[in-house]
Amino acid sequence: MVEDDASDAELIKHALRKDGLLFTVERVETSEDYLQALDQEPPDVILSDYALPTFDGYTALTLAQKMHPEVPFIFVTGTMGEEVAIETLKNGATDYVLKIRLARLAPAVHRALRETRERADRKRAVEQLRQSHEQLRALSVYLQHVREEERMRISRAVHDELGQALTGLKIDLSWLSGRLPRQLNALITKAREMSSHIDETIQTVRRISTELRPGILDHLGLVAAIEWQANEFQTRTGIECKVAHALNHTIMDENLNTVFFRIFQETLTNIIRHANASRVETDLYEEEGRLILEVRDNGRGITREQISNIKSIGLLGMRERAALLGGDVKISGTPKKGTKVTVSIPDAATPRANKRHHENSYSRRSRSGTTWFEANSRR
Ligand SMILES: Nc1ncnc2c1ncn2[C@@H]1O[C@H](COP(=O)(O)OP(=O)(O)OP(=O)(O)O)[C@@H](O)[C@H]1O
Ligand SMILES: [Mg+2]
């Protein structure tokens, strides 16, 4: 309580007691005592006169705001003009009560305490929500990582162990058929059939291994893997798929490669399933220390509702993957013109060049130096 008049202080305490409040009061008159009191332990509520001989309520309010903004501050004053009252409320005062209307004080204190409690509860709830969101995100990072590791492991095991075992079988079979007497025609034919069967199985093993995780991604880098995937896509779907890039370094960062590659795959899957497109254009370039992948199709165009639909798990997964590395995914669509997906992720290896200079050099490159890689169909 900031109050210089002892009898006013008694009246104030009386008003609070009458309402059944249990409390202790520390009364101060000077700014030194006030600061010391605030320093020791923040009170539950501050009641302050406005005009004091050596101190003033406005300064008291400012100091309280600075030191304990969560503590409610109520002016209890003999006079306070309406304008001053509004001004103090704007500056953070909780309420003001005139000394001639002390009956209002206890309700004002009750309300202030309740609001403070609610604010604290809300703050706690927001904090808990934030924490649980963070935990979920960490879990999602972990799951993605584990899944990718597992795929890599299975892919290698399938490729190396099954692949080698099959190759061994093929060699043995060829040894065996070389020693079959010429007159045993039926056996020779059978051996030939078995051999071609083994060849097909080797192809299947390769395909399964590559679908799990293309080795090209880890051995030749992102650009090669994107081009390979575009090629596969074109062969499989008949939808023209072009890749252009303007990168002057090979992207070999495992996490970055995984994120870009998986988002690219999800984008292509969406194009097959939803776009009804006849052509896909992909650009890979760097800008301002970020690596950017842009995929445009000429299909029906994704709608605003589909983009913001919380049930769009595929899109959510793409965004989460990019967010893991501090990046983002922008999606836009124009009806009957197509859909554009832009993935942008910071890349430590990408030079953070002067913007203007960089833009110039990129546009120069894309006019002359960039080549469109026609994905050549195997069919
Ligand atoms: N290239 C596209 N062209 C047109 N519409 C698209 C395109 N990509 C996505 N959409 C629309 O956005 C929706 C959300 O895509 P999202 O990938 O999240 O879900 P999905 O493909 O339907 O299911 P999944 O969770 O299996 O990926 C799709 O259902 C589709 O309507
Ligand atoms: Mg999808």
Compute the distance from residue 273 Cα to the ligand 2 centre, in Å: 8
Which atom of ligand 1 is least distant from the CA of 275? Answer: 3
For residues 102 and 146, membership in a common domain is answered with no
194 lies in the same domain as 299: no
Same domain, 163 and 204: yes
Residues in the chain: 379
48 residue type, one letter: S
> In angstroms, what is the span from residue 143 Cα to ligand 2's centroid?
19
2 DSSP assignment: B
In a domain, 134, yes or no: no
Q: How confident is the model at residue 285 (pLDDT cuts 50, 70, 90)?
A: very high
* CA-nearest residue, atom 10 of ligand 1: 302
Return d(Cα 84, Cα 99) in angstroms, integer: 16
Do residue 53 and residue 111 come from a single domain?
A: yes
Is residue 131, in this structure, part of any structural domain at all?
no
| Residue-wise pLDDT tens digits, 321-353 | 999 899 999 999 999 999 999 999 998 776 555
Element (H, E) at 297: strand 290-297
Query: Is the model's pLDDT at 359 over the cut of 60?
Result: no
- Is 224 within the bounds of a domain? yes
pTM for the model stands at: 0.68
DSSP 3-state of 100: helix
CATH of the domain at 56: 3.40.50.2300
Q: Say if residue 233 is in the same domain as residue 327.
A: yes
Backbone conformation region of residue 30, classed left if phi is above 0, alpha if psi is from -120 to 50, else beta: beta
Residue nearest to atom 12 of ligand 1 (CA): 306
Quickly state the pLDDT bin for 378 (edges 50, 70, 90).
very low
Full residue range of the structural domain in which residue 267 is found:
216-374
82 is written with which tokens?
A: 């309406």
Which one has a higher pLDDT value, 16 or 138? 16
Q: Look at residue 130 and tell me if it is in a domain.
A: no
Res. 301: pLDDT tops 50: yes
Listing DSSP states for 110-145 in one string gives: HHHHHHHHHHHHHHHHHHHHHHHHHHHHHHHHHHHH
Q: Which of 83, 97, 22, 91 is nearest to 63 (CA)?
A: 91
- Say whether pLDDT at 354 is over 60: no
Q: Report yes or no on 129 lying in a domain.
A: no
Task: From the CA of 307, give the closest atom in ligand 1.
Answer: 12
Residue 369 sits in a domain of what CATH number?
3.30.565.10
Whether residues 276 and 192 share a domain: the answer is no
- pLDDT for 370: 35
Return the ligand 1 atom nearest residue 312 CA: 18
Q: Looking at the structure, do residues 28 and 54 belong to the same domain, yes or no?
A: yes
Ligand 1 pocket mutation, candidates 302, 307, 340, 342, criterion most atoms within 8 A of CB: 302
In Å, how far from its chain's centre is CA 161? 38
Same domain, 198 and 237: no
Instruction: Look at residue 46 and tell me whether its pLDDT is greater than 50.
Output: yes
DSSP state of 372: E
Q: Which among 159, 188, 211 is the end of a domain? A: 211
Helix or strand or coil: residue 310? coil
Q: Is 303 in the pocket of ligand 1 (CB under 6 A)?
A: no
Average per-residue pLDDT for the chain? 89
DSSP per-residue letters across 17-82 = HHTT-------B-SHHHHHHHHHH---S-EEE-SB-SS-BHHHHHHHHHHH-TTS-EEEEES---H
Query: Would you state the pLDDT for residue 350?
Result: 61
Residue 225 lies inside a defined structural domain of this protein = yes
Least confident of 18-27, 182-191, 367-376: 367-376
Cβ density class 324-341: b for 16+ within 10 Å, e for less = bbebebebebeeeebbbb
Could you tell me if the CB of 271 is within 6 A of ligand 1? yes
What percent helix, strand, coil does the chain show, rounded to 5? 60, 15, 25
Answer yes or no: do 84 and 231 share one domain: no
Same domain, 145 and 264: no
Q: Write down which residue in 62, 84, 119 finishes a domain.
A: 119
Amino acid residing at 25 = V
Is 237 a domain residue? yes
280 lines ligand 1 (CB under 6 A): no
Q: Report CA(314)–ligand 1 centroid distance (Å).
A: 7
Do residues 332 and 285 both lie within one domain?
Answer: yes
Task: Quote the number of domains for the chain.
Answer: 3
Interval between CA 339 and ligand 1 midpoint (Å) = 11
- 107-149 pLDDT per residue, tens: 999 999 999 999 999 999 999 999 999 999 889 888 988 999 9
Which residue is closest in CA terms to ligand 1's atom 16? Answer: 314
For 49-107, what is each residue's pLDDT tens digit?
A: 998 888 889 999 999 999 999 999 999 998 788 888 888 899 999 999 999 999 999 99
- Does 323 map to a domain? yes
Give the residue-averaged pLDDT of 206-231: 93
Fill in the DSSP letter of residue 288: T
Backbone angles phi, psi at 257, to 5 degrees: -60, -45
Q: Is residue 4 over pLDDT 50? A: yes
Contact 151, 110 (CB under 8 A): no
Ligand lying nearest the CA atom of residue 307: 1
For 229-265, write each residue's pLDDT tens digit.
999 999 999 999 999 999 888 888 888 999 999 999 9
The alpha carbon dihedral of 309, 310, 316, 317 has a sign of negative
Assess whether the C-beta atom of 340 lies below 6 angstroms from ligand 1: no
Query: Is pLDDT above 50 for 295?
Result: yes
Is the domain of 234 the same as that of 329?
yes
Q: What is the pLDDT of residues 308-318, one digit of tens each?
A: 998 888 999 99
Domain stop point among 183, 211, 239 = 211
Q: 379 pLDDT exceeds 60?
A: no
Q: State in Å: Cα 237 to ligand 1 middle.
A: 17
Q: For residue 81, what pLDDT is reported?
A: 82
